[in-house]
Homo-oligomer: A and B are copies of this chain.
Amino acid sequence: MEKKLIQIGELAKISKVPIATLRYYEKRNLLKPTKVKDSGYRLYSQEAEKTIGFVKHAQELGFSLEEIKQLINLRAPSVGRCKRVRNRAKSKLEDVREKIRLLSQIEGTLEKLIKDCEKSKTSSNCPIIEGMEDIND
């Protein structure tokens, strides 16, 4: 049971996120320090780095901090009572799959674009959007 707690500055360094941002995440209820000293100093477990990594990645995938908070809170909700959690998880799963679907469409279009450019170097017809027509609901 390694339980070494670290200060905010070290967490900031290892997770490559400014200290102010960590405090901001706390205000937004995304990341709570494991412990707070009487002095007010925040102490975090190493785990915190994973949460931060998750937040950063999820942002790149177009989730808002609010959505990310909900994703995080799917874990450790009111113990037991999984039903509500399951429904929220299912709904999020839909969102995620839709994103994957859209990205796959873009992936396909980019692949085609690259191949077309490769064979006919003079091609001025690289229809990136046209290839994405069927993206829309």
Contacts from A to B (Cβ < 8 Å): 50-51, 53-54, 57-63, 71-72, 74-77, 79-80, 82-83, 85-86, 89-90, 92-93, 96-97, 99-100, 102-104, 106-107, 110-111, 113-114, 117-118, 121-124, 126-130, 132-133, 135-136
Q: Copy number in this complex?
A: 2
Q: Binding site of A, secondary structure by majority: helix, strand, loop or mixed?
A: helix
List chain B residues, Cβ under 8 A from A127: 75
A54-B124 Cα distance, complex, nearest whole Å: 21
Instruction: Given A61-B99, A99-B60, check contact A54 B117 (CB 8 Å).
Output: no
Query: Smallest CB-CB separation from A122: which chain B residue?
Result: B80
- A82 in contact with B121 (CB, 8 Å): yes
Query: Could you tell me the distance between the alpha carbons of A69 and B134 in the complex, rounded to whole angstroms?
Result: 20
A113 lies within 8 A of B89 (CB): yes
The 10 closest A-B pairs by CB, nearest first: A62-B62, A82-B117, A79-B124, A75-B128, A93-B110, A53-B136, A86-B117, A74-B128, A100-B103, A96-B107
